[in-house]
Amino acid sequence: MRLLALFVFIVGFALVAAWSSMRIVASVQYDQSCGGYLKRAADANNVDLAKQELARALAWINANDLRDGYTSVAWRTPDEDVGFWHTNLTASLQELESVNPEASQLEKTNVLMKLRETLLDQGESTIVTEPDGISVYPDNVAYAWAGWISLIVFLVGCVFGFIVLNDDY
């Protein structure tokens, strides 16, 4: 019985560790391929640089078909609307592309400030505006199920192990 309890605990722990690792890897890959470029576009000091970085992020978004849907699993909320996010980024790039090279520095600065306000959320810290869970979208449902199942197996292993180890037989 003790070996079975240990086995369930180890399998549960391995599942939780694997799920966590996969989420971390997905997050890093997203930041390297898209999120980082959105941040760089927001931080750009001139229109051409902002256009280049935003175009790079949008190319990845389009290549991965992140144009519509919601990142939520259980219910839809506006902050998880992938379509709005994509449309907003596309409109921002079009606005950058429409800036006349002969525009005054004030006009260019205003466009860059508007872009920064679009791409970043200000709060206690500054973060890139993006739907929650976008790093695993469109596989968010699979990640949610895998997370819940691995957590349940782990908790069953913990409870089962606790009961077996404290059983005087």
Of 108, 87, 88, the C-alpha closest to 98 is 108
Asked if the peptide bond before residue 138 counts as cis, ω within 30 degrees of 0, the response is: yes
pLDDT tens readout for residues 104-137: 999 999 999 999 999 999 888 889 999 999 999 9
Task: List, in sequence order, every residue forming a beta bridge with 148; answer none if it has no partner.
Answer: none
Residues 152-169, mean pLDDT to the nearest whole number: 84
pLDDT tens readout for residues 13-52: 999 999 999 999 999 999 999 999 999 999 999 999 999 9
d(CA 121, CA 31): 16
Task: List, in sequence order, every residue forming a beta bridge with 127; answer none if it has no partner.
Answer: 121
Q: Residue ranges per domain, the chain?
A: 2-165
Could you tell me which residue, 160 or 134, shows the higher pLDDT?
134
Question: Residue 169: pLDDT band by 50, 70, 90 thresholds?
Answer: low
d(CA 169, CA 166): 9
Structure confidence at residue 165 (pLDDT): 77
Structure confidence at residue 89 (pLDDT): 98
